[in-house]
Amino acid sequence: MKKTARLDKIFLKMGSVTEEQIARALARQKAYGGRLGENLVELGIITEKQLLMALSEQFRIPTATPGEGDVAVEILERLPEGVVLEDLVLPLAWDEGKKILTLAVADPGAQAAMIRAKEAMAAEKVRVVLASDRVIADLGLRLLSGKGTAYDGPRIELPELFEREEPEGPTAEEPEEEPERRVLMVSRGAPFKNFLPPVFLREGIHLSVTAMASEAAEEMKAMELDGILLARDMAEEFSEWVSTGVVPEPQVDVTVFPSVSEGLLGNPVSYESMVRSLRASVQALADFRCAHFGYCPPYGLIVYDLDALAKLHRVSRVARDGLHLTAHLLLPTECEYSPDPVGSAEPFQAFSSSLELATRIRFPWRLDAVLDACHALFSGRATPDSRGKWAREVHLGAQLLAVVWYRHNHVPVDSDNEEEAMITLRSNLRDKAGKLATLDVIEAYLGWIQERGGAASAAGPRQVLLVGKERISRALSQELSRLGCQVLETSDLPDAQTLIERSPPGAIVIDHADFPEEVGHFVRLVRLEGSVPLYVLTDSTDPTLVLNLLDIGANDVFGPTHEFDLMAARLNHAIRNQARLGMNGRAKTGQFSATLEVFSFLDLVQTLGNGFKSVRIDLSREGGEQATLFMQKGRLVHAEAGETSGAEAVYRIIAWEDDGEFTVHQEDDFPESTIQESNESLLMEGCRLLDEGRR
């Protein structure tokens, strides 16, 4: 199967990993083998679900989570030995009439296994969906041998202290690489110095262990550290070293640990999992409060900028997560782009309740202190140059929050003119230097915005059209609004088509449950209109439905289980990509391709005719036969098929039936007309000739 991009590039584009994490996984892959995705999962950097999503993007294959009832059990015994349990290939469906075999695979690169399965069934065509290797192995083991399912409950991940030995020294061809991540451990535990560094080194991390201030200072000055591990019994001593200047102030996260055993046994769930859960809870709370006040700020854009700025200023990991939570606790005044709140006694709505919520959350980093400092900056009770009662990192975090919040809620920009938008943004933000943040913080923010694409890159009418009834609106409206998208809603398909023709949105989502019979036709119509990304929400787990929708032009199909925050993020990403391809994210009429098996020639001509389209249609079939048709304002005016032209060429194409494929191109230049008959007459006569030829 053809890859669309390298897997590491896809992970980076999805935002699932960082460059540093990719480097760790590659180092582990070099030492122990395996594929990149497997190593990322083993290191706990990504989940199996994220791996499947990336592979789906890389190979353009849909994903599925098959259950026992989805497996074609009668086919299992007919497959060659080892295909299911060793190669992790599972049969889901077998169409005896069309000789089509549908397989779930864990590895799209398992071509040999798929070919063996195809040959065993004498299949003419194989359709493939991606599924978790654990799911396939579990189902295969249970259905083939009758054994019980593997344990699928909560797991406590322990470090691989006693895995295989390190490979021997570097070969002449591949010199040993220095680990890219460096960590300092401050502890009196003498065994740590001999025992832990080799373990960390095998995972791509250089660990230095010391209990002496001079050695710690030397390490902190000599190396650019990625983190500091501090034993709890040395926490006070280390703080004294910093306060007296014996060691420099840390510019990285300092993690205090009690002991190795307590660190492992006392954390049955990872920090990342807990923070994700807390974020989801606070986001849900923000949705509820926004619904009450009638306006939802672009929280997604705000926290995206906050995270980037916090990393730029080397803010600790816990503080970055705290800023994410704090942003969702704020509510803007009145409406979008409301009057300047700087200097106002009440720059935020319902601030007292926000402050109470921040206190009750009891996050390890003082959320209430950040909110208080941010409010003081807006109201003029404090300045960026005077830290006052707040800790350094809290004061810095409040400045970052204040300037990013101000930018996204109170500075409208012209998305049609990038130069003017950037001038407006610079002027507005620099005017707040010394009020909301220091000039250094504001200039760093402006520089980052410029590098990222300018002020208009995240502005403008990023519209998403939701087609369906109450469910799709309830599920996606708030999530998309949080990401700064404008949501249009309709439960009427003709109305949706009118909206698309009048002003193409950035993306379209249609709920299959509300229009089970009309979705296919709607997808075809939209695809002929242009290149607007189109997604289908469905409750079905039938892989055939998913494949058919993808075949006729859907960009993706969102099946169960529905993770609406992830859907919204993918829609937002699609709109951003569309904006990079065309000004203001507008979809441009381009071309559409499909097979005659899923989009018949008769349907194609009728659809283009009803839409009064001016296009060129290039067709081909197995054996190298090709044809070209021209339609001007919805009427067939010229056709060529081999040595024939005009109406005879159209009849010849109709005789292809479902054997072939086509591509529709927008066209402005037409040859001399060779067809005088109407579309209806041509199609009726072609079908009559086809029927006679069958007798």
Whether residue 172 is predicted with pLDDT greater than 50 in this model: the reply is no
Whether residue 257 is predicted with pLDDT greater than 50 in this model: the reply is yes
List the structure tokens of 665: 């191109």
Whether residue 443 is predicted with pLDDT greater than 90 in this model: the reply is yes
**Tens digit of pLDDT for each residue in 456-515?**
554 444 788 999 988 888 888 877 876 667 788 999 888 888 888 777 888 899 999 999
- Residue 615 CA to residue 664 CA, distance in Å, equals 7
According to CATH, the superfamily of the domain at 272-454 is Hypothetical protein af1432 (1.10.3210.10)
Residue 149 confidence (pLDDT)? 40
Whether residue 637 is predicted with pLDDT greater than 90 in this model: the reply is yes
Confidence at 628, pLDDT banded by 50, 70, 90: very high
**Tens digit of pLDDT for each residue in 56-93?**
888 888 888 888 888 888 888 888 877 887 778 889 88
Residue 74 confidence (pLDDT)? 85
DSSP3 helix / strand / coil % (the chain, rounded to 5): 50, 15, 40
Confidence at 578, pLDDT banded by 50, 70, 90: low
Query: Which of 143-157, 435-449, 604-618 is the most confident on average?
Result: 435-449
Q: Which three-class secondary structure string do you get for 151-208?
A: CCCCCCCCCCCCCCCCCCCCCCCCCCCCCCEEEEEECCCHHHHHHHHHHHHHCCEEEE
| DSSP annotation of 266 | T
Burial (CB < 10 A; 0-12, 13-18, 19+), residue 540, is: middle
Residue in the structure block whose two tokens are 């960590």: 183
**Tens digit of pLDDT for each residue in 174-228?**
444 444 688 999 988 766 776 788 778 877 888 888 888 988 998 888 777 888 9
Task: Give the list of residues 6+ apart from residue 215 with CB closer than 8 angstroms, or none.
Answer: 208
Domain boundaries defined on the chain = 7-145, 181-260, 272-454, 463-585, 591-694
Helix axes 439-452, 299-312, angle to 10 degrees: 110
**Tens digit of pLDDT for each residue in 219-229?**
888 777 888 99
Whether residue 589 is predicted with pLDDT greater than 50 in this model: the reply is no
Region 284-299: mean pLDDT is 81
Residue 579 confidence (pLDDT)? 59
Region 95-105: mean pLDDT is 89
Whether residue 638 is predicted with pLDDT greater than 80 in this model: the reply is yes
Phi, psi angle pair for 349, to nearest 5°: -80, 145
> Topology of 463-585 in CATH?
Rossmann fold (3.40.50)
Q: Across the chain, what does the average pLDDT equal?
A: 81
**Global pTM value:** 0.50
Phi, psi angle pair for 345, to nearest 5°: -70, -25
Q: Is the distance from CB of 500 to CB of 532 less than 8 angstroms?
A: yes
Residue 384 confidence (pLDDT)? 93
- Residue 338 CA to residue 406 CA, distance in Å, equals 10
Domain pair 272-454 / 463-585, same fold: no
Three-class SS of residue 632? strand
Region 235-240: mean pLDDT is 88
Whether residue 328 is predicted with pLDDT greater than 70 in this model: the reply is yes
Residue 657 confidence (pLDDT)? 85
**Tens digit of pLDDT for each residue in 265-279?**
777 888 888 888 898
Q: Is the distance from CB of 83 to CB of 73 less than 8 angstroms?
A: no
Sheet holding 100-105, edge to edge: 89-95, 100-105, 125-130
Three-class SS of residue 680? helix
Question: How do beta strands 556-558 and 534-537 pair?
Answer: parallel
The CATH code of the domain at 181-260 is 3.40.50.2300
Region 7-24: mean pLDDT is 84
H or E, element range at 575 = helix 564-581
| DSSP annotation of 466 | E
Region 340-353: mean pLDDT is 84
**By percentage, how much of the chain surpasses pLDDT 70?**
85
